[in-house]
Amino acid sequence: MEKRIIAGALVLGIVAVFFLFSVLLIHPFGDPGQAQMDDYIITHTQNETGTQNGVTSVVFDYRGFDTLGEATILFSAVTGVLLIFRRVRH
Amino acid sequence: MTKIVKTTANILFPFTMIFGLYVIAHGHLTPGGGFQGGAIVVSGCALLLVAYGSSWVFDRIKDKRLAAFESLGAIGFITIAFLGLMFSAVFFGNFLAGSGSLFGTTPATGSTLADFNTGGVLPLMNFAVGVKVIAGLFVIVLVMAYASSTKEWG
């Protein structure tokens, strides 16, 4: 029991140190490194996609392939649930 | 459940439906879209599930049909993506934007009033994803609730 507590504390300490370093290395809030893509989308979204909602234009048009992945995740989740609970069906 | 819960669910259910379908239909104008509106609609269905019990809902709605609707939404989504490949030479290309036909009006640059007839294929994709999310999440909630309520699954 003592060994388990010591090992847990050790792992927790290592993880805490890693998180601390990643917090220290994060770049300042509100100061993106590369803003060219943001500026392009904000400037051209109304002409190119013809919509007034920039977020939807990114989700379904500029990054549509990403949304296809999200839909695939949902599809596989439904498939898995129906597979696990298939004994319920009559 | 008790009569209080059933009455509250009866009152709240249509408003939840209308709000969720509104969020799906106006996905290209207001915050939200197919995923978010579908989740709102399914939260209304889960309310029905809590109030009336899972076997009551399970007798009325077939999970196989819901799964078929889920596949139908996925097929519609991928079909629109391939139509973009066919008409504008890019996968997920927005071939309806600026064409002047269905959803083809281009809004003026800058902050303008919302026009429903804009967005190209975005409203169609929102609709397909909405159907997919409603059917998919509802079949998950329904089957899991029914499985946890029957005796042989205790």
| A70 contact residues in B (CB cutoff 8 A) | 35
Q: Are A51 and B122 in contact (CB under 8 A)?
A: yes
Confidence of residue B153 (pLDDT cuts 50, 70, 90): very low
ipTM of the complex: 0.81
Predicted TM-score of the model (pTM) = 0.81
Residue burial B17-29, b: 16+ Cβ < 10 Å; e: rest: eebbbebbbbbbb
* CA B134 – CA B138 distance, rounded (Å): 6
CA A37 and chain centroid, separation = 19
CA-based nearest distance A60→chain B, Å: 6
Assess whether pLDDT exceeds 90 at residue B63.
no
CA-based nearest distance A61→chain B, Å: 6
| A76 contact residues in B (CB cutoff 8 A) | none
Query: Is A75 within 8 Å of B97 when comparing Cβ atoms?
Result: no
Cα dihedral A59, A68, A82, B46, rounded to 10, equals 10
* CA A66 – CA B127 distance, rounded (Å): 17
Question: Which chain A residue has its CA at the smallest distance from B151's CA?
Answer: A88
Q: Are A30 and B47 in contact (CB under 8 A)?
A: no
Domains of chain B: which residue ranges?
3-153
**Burial class for B69, CB neighbours closer than 10 Å (0-12, 13-18, 19+):** middle
* CA B48 – CA A58 distance, rounded (Å): 34
Per-residue confidence in pLDDT tens, chain A, 90 aa: 788 999 999 999 999 999 999 988 887 887 777 778 888 888 888 888 888 888 888 888 888 888 899 889 999 999 998 888 876 555
pLDDT score of B151 = 57
Q: What is the pLDDT of residues B14-43, one digit of tens each?
A: 999 999 999 999 988 888 888 999 999 999
pLDDT score of B152 = 54
Confidence of residue B154 (pLDDT cuts 50, 70, 90): very low
* CA A67 – CA B65 distance, rounded (Å): 24
In the three-class reduction of DSSP (H, G, I as helix; E, B as strand; rest coil), residue A7 is classed as: helix
Q: What is the pLDDT of residues B89-146, one digit of tens each?
A: 888 888 887 777 778 777 777 777 878 888 888 889 999 999 999 999 999 999 888 8
Interface of B with A in 5-64 (CB under 8 A): 27-31, 33, 35, 63
Long-range contacts of A16-21 (CB under 8 A, 24+ apart): none
Domains of chain A: which residue ranges?
2-88
Question: Nearest CB to B118: which of A51, A64, A78?
Answer: A51
Query: Is A60 within 8 Å of B70 when comparing Cβ atoms?
Result: no
Interface of A with B in 61-80 (CB under 8 A): 61, 64-65, 67-68, 70-71, 74-75, 77-78
* CA B122 – CA A84 distance, rounded (Å): 34
